């Protein structure tokens, strides 16, 4: 390459920006001179910007009709704003995406498409072609999210720019990434069984690489091990067996289970576990609800062996490391715990387990039919009579390093192919 290699990363918020940031840090450490450009969208924008220079849609407003984009953005922003996203970035994101819909479907078609799908129907293919044209990246990296990430990976593929996708979880058919017609050159996954599933769905076998999820690398840092030890020591739990319950709101009902939407199931699980711990003097309990809604649950008083965790004050990884067993419904905390080698129990009458995925069915956990069975299941797991987590998901804290190597290989292979006649280029 005659200039510094440039890698374009595109991601949104949630756990996805947490996958990308460690890869960028590792790539910059491994490859002196590499230029990593991060485009972090929606709720991922400020999170990324707090750690490194970050691009957003607003930075590319000059590539489109900026006035029209602003007008559309303001018009569509009602009900589509978040305190975690700068308002000007929101206007640019909505407006540019809507202009792209008009380019693809015409004005009437765009209006109809948006009425049916809202912002979930965005796929800014024209815009991402302009972004790639402006930045001229040597490789494009994105997560398995739809919309902007899908658009940038598909556009890179059609333009002959090497592309790398990162799948966060299990690669099930419900993940739109798995069923796309245009597939990236390389895909990084968490385990062999995910790799096998993607290859069965038409991904090139040589292009699907088991790397682990970089967002989980923090489970192996010395700092988090120290935090876990300090958490236990501060509470005098050194001689106890801490159990972590990571619960969440059930967003939908399902005919396979009578569990309703809302808090009923997690609150029942918490009640059963609290009662069980009170009867078992060798146990302690950490109650942890999802960061987006933890304040909506009744805050029961702490007890000497029962702790209610406040997500803004306590990161999840030290709590996982402090535990000897983890109870979940379908929370990704269960997968993280398996990655760390902790036994996991999943409550299988969760509607989410039927709608999205069962951790037990994926080999991550021991399934527990309903909350009332937790005491007996937990006893068998803690006593070693059940081995709950498949070793296939265990990692070593070096997922980011492995993904970074895939990205570097993709960039270097892409540079080689640019000097070959078209007929001689490898796929």
pLDDT tens digits for 259-288? 999 999 999 999 999 999 999 999 999 999
Where are the domains positioned within the chain? 6-213+397-424, 217-393
* 3 state SS of 255: coil
pLDDT over 60 at 423, yes or no = no
pLDDT over 80 at 385, yes or no = no
pLDDT over 70 at 390, yes or no = no
What is the arithmetic mean of pLDDT over 20-44? 93
- Give strand ranges (E) for 258-365: 283-289, 306-309, 325-328, 344-347
pLDDT of residue 297: 87
Lowest-confidence range among 88-92, 315-319, 388-392? Answer: 388-392
SS3 content of the chain, % helix, strand, coil (to 5): 50, 15, 35
What is the arithmetic mean of pLDDT over 57-65? 94
Of the candidates 23, 21, 3, the residue with the CA atom closest to the CA atom of residue 12: 21
**Look-up: residue for tokens 């069962």?**
358
Lowest-confidence range among 63-67, 82-86, 179-183, 324-328? Answer: 82-86
| Mean pLDDT over the full length of the chain | 90
C-alpha span between 66 and 393 (Å, rounded): 46
The phi-psi region of residue 363 (left if phi > 0; otherwise alpha if psi is between -120 and 50; otherwise beta) is left
Please, what is the end-to-end C-alpha distance for the chain in angstroms?
20
Sheet with 325-328, edge to edge strand ranges: 306-309, 283-289, 241-247, 325-328, 344-347, 366-368
pLDDT of residue 46: 86
Percent of the chain residues topping a pLDDT of 90: 75
CATH 3.40.109.10 is right for the domain spanning 217-393: no
**Cβ distance 50 to 114 under 8 Å?**
no
**Look-up: residue for tokens 């220079």?**
53
* 3 state SS of 80: coil
Of the candidates 103, 122, 160, the residue with the CA atom closest to the CA atom of residue 12: 122
What is the arithmetic mean of pLDDT over 334-349? 94
pLDDT over 50 at 427, yes or no = no
**Cβ distance 261 to 251 under 8 Å?**
yes
Continuous segment of H or E residues that includes residue 195: helix 192-200
Under the banding of pLDDT at 50, 70 and 90, the label for residue 388 is: low
C-alpha span between 365 and 331 (Å, rounded): 11
C-alpha span between 147 and 173 (Å, rounded): 17
- Residues 140-169: tens digit of each pLDDT: 999 998 899 999 999 999 999 999 999 998
* DSSP summary character for residue 3: S
C-alpha span between 271 and 279 (Å, rounded): 13
List phi, psi (to 5°) of 148: -60, -40
* DSSP summary character for residue 297: S
C-alpha span between 165 and 145 (Å, rounded): 9
In DSSP terms, 303 is beta-bridged to: 306
- Pairing between β-strand 306-309 and β-strand 208-210 as defined by DSSP bridges: unpaired
Sheet with 208-210, edge to edge strand ranges: 35-40, 6-11, 139-143, 163-166, 186-189, 208-210
Residue 70's CB is within 10 A of a number of other CB atoms, namely: 17
What is the arithmetic mean of pLDDT over 97-125? 92
- Residues 236-265: tens digit of each pLDDT: 999 999 999 999 989 888 999 989 999 999
- Residues 188-217: tens digit of each pLDDT: 999 998 999 999 999 999 999 999 999 999
**Look-up: residue for tokens 């649950």?**
297
Long-range contacts, stretch 183-190, CB < 8 angstroms, 24+ apart: 183/157, 184/153, 184/156, 184/157, 185/157, 185/410, 185/427, 186/162, 186/406, 186/410, 188/164, 188/402, 188/403, 188/406, 190/335, 190/339, 190/393, 190/395
CATH 3.40.50.2000 is right for the domain spanning 6-213+397-424: yes
Residue 239's CB is within 10 A of a number of other CB atoms, namely: 8
What is the arithmetic mean of pLDDT over 335-343? 93
What is the arithmetic mean of pLDDT over 376-390? 81
Instruction: Pull the structure tokens for residue 258.
Output: 């009578």
List phi, psi (to 5°) of 400: -60, -40
- Residues 403-415: tens digit of each pLDDT: 999 999 999 876 5
pLDDT of residue 421: 37
Higher-confidence residue: 232 or 423? 232
Residue 252's CB is within 10 A of a number of other CB atoms, namely: 10
Question: What global pTM score does this model have?
Answer: 0.85
């Amino acid at each position: 390459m005659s200039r510094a290699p440039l890698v374009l990363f595109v991601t949104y918020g949630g756990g996805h920006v947490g996958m990308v940031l460690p890869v960028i840090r590792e790539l910059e450490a491994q490859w002196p001179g590499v230029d990593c450009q991060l485009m972090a969208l929606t709720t991922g924008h400020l999170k990324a910007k707090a750690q490194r220079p970050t691009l957003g849609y607003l930075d590319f407003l000059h590539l489109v009709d900026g006035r029209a984009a602003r007008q559309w953005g303001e018009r569509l922003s009602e009900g589509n704003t978040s305190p975690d996203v700068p308002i000007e970035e929101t206007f640019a994101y909505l407006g540019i995406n809507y202009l792209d819909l008009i380019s693809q479907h015409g004005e009437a078609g765009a209006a109809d498409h948006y009425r049916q799908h809202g912002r979930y129907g965005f796929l800014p293919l024209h815009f991402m072609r302009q972004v790639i044209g402006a930045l001229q990246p040597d490789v494009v990296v994105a997560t398995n999210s739809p919309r902007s990430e899908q658009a940038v990976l598909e556009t890179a593929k059609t333009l002959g720019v090497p592309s790398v996708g990162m799948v966060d979880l299990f690669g099930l058919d419900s993940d739109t990434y798995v069923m796309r017609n245009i597939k990236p050159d390389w895909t990084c996954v968490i385990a062999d069984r995910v790799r096998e599933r993607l290859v069965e769905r038409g991904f090139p076998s040589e292009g699907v690489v088991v790397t682990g999820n970089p967002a989980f690398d923090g489970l192996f840092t010395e700092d988090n091990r120290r935090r876990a030890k300090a958490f236990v020591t501060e509470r005098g739990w050194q001689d106890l067996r801490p159990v972590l319950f990571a619960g969440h709101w059930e967003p939908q009902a399902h005919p396979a289970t009578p569990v309703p939407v809302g808090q009923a199931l997690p609150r029942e699980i918490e009640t059963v576990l609290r009662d069980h711990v009170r009867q078992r003097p060798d146990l302690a309990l950490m109650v942890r609800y999802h960061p987006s809604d933890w304040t909506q649950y009744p805050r029961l008083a702490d007890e000497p062996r029962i702790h209610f965790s406040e997500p803004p004050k306590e990161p999840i990884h030290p709590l996982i490391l402090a535990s000897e067993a983890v109870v979940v419904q379908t929370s990704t905390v269960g997968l993280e715990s398996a990655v760390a080698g902790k036994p996991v129990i999943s409550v299988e009458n969760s509607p989410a387990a039927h709608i999205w995925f069962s951790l037990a069915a994926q080999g991550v956990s021991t399934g527990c039919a309903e909350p009332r069975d937790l005491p007996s299941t937990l006893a068998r797991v803690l006593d070693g009579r059940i081995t709950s987590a498949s070793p296939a998901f265990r990692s070593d804290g070096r997922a980011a390093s492995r993904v970074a190597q895939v990205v570097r290989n993709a960039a270097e292979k892409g540079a080689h192919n640019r000097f070959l006649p078209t007929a001689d280029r490898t796929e």
